[in-house]
């Protein structure tokens, strides 16, 4: 009768060992790429340059890609950025105004979802997509935009 108990114990130990090895060999989540932001002076003069700090600040918040990690201070920063971009929109040229409005709109959706505790990562990704387009619009072809 001792043999079945020993065999069962050995098989259980082997199963645990195989499971532990499988977990240890599973690749970890890939590290996030380093956030590299253009300097403020690389933004075209005018509305783009005026929006540069807001765009850079927003990038720091959206880079994490973790909506649950947004603190009360982060939420206040989202509002400050949104207010700043709303103020800049009317004076911007149409090619800059449209990306500004896209950021403002996506920020609005994110903030509503955060307030109602129904935010999902896709809302943060939407803000980042709009923010990246605004940055690309403002940093490329310097001197043409504003």
Span 70-118, pLDDT tens digits? 999 999 999 999 999 999 999 999 999 999 999 999 999 999 999 999 9
Per-residue pLDDT tens for 35-70?
889 999 999 999 999 999 999 999 999 987 788 889
* For residues 3-32, average pLDDT: 52
pLDDT value for 34: 79
3-state secondary structure the chain: CHHHHHHHHHHHHHHHHHHHHHHHHCCCCCCCCCCCCCCHHHCCCCHHHHHHHHHHHHHHHHCCCCHHHCCHHHHHHHHHHHHHHHHHHHHCCHHHHHHHHHHHHHHHHHHHHHHCCCCCHHHHHHHHHHHHHHHHHHHCCCCCCC
Q: Which pLDDT band holds residue 25 (cuts at 50, 70, 90)?
A: low
pLDDT given at position 145: 47
What per-residue confidence (pLDDT) applies to 101?
A: 98
pLDDT of residue 16: 47
């Amino acid at each position: 009768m001792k043999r079945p108990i020993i065999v069962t114990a050995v098989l259980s130990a082997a199963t645990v060992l195989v499971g532990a090895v499988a977990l240890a060999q599973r690749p970890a989540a890939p590290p996030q790429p380093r956030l590299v932001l253009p300097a403020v002076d690389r933004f075209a003069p005018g509305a783009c340059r005026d929006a540069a700090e807001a765009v850079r600040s927003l990038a720091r918040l959206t880079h994490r890609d973790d909506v649950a990690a947004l603190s009360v201070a982060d939420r206040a920063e989202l509002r400050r950025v949104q207010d700043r971009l709303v103020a800049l929109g009317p004076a911007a040229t149409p090619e800059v105004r449209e990306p500004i409005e896209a950021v403002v709109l996506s920020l609005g959706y994110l903030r509503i979802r955060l307030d109602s505790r129904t935010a999902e990562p896709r809302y943060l990704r939407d803000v980042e997509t709009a923010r990246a387009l605004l940055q690309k619009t403002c940093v490329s072809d310097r001197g043409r935009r504003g």
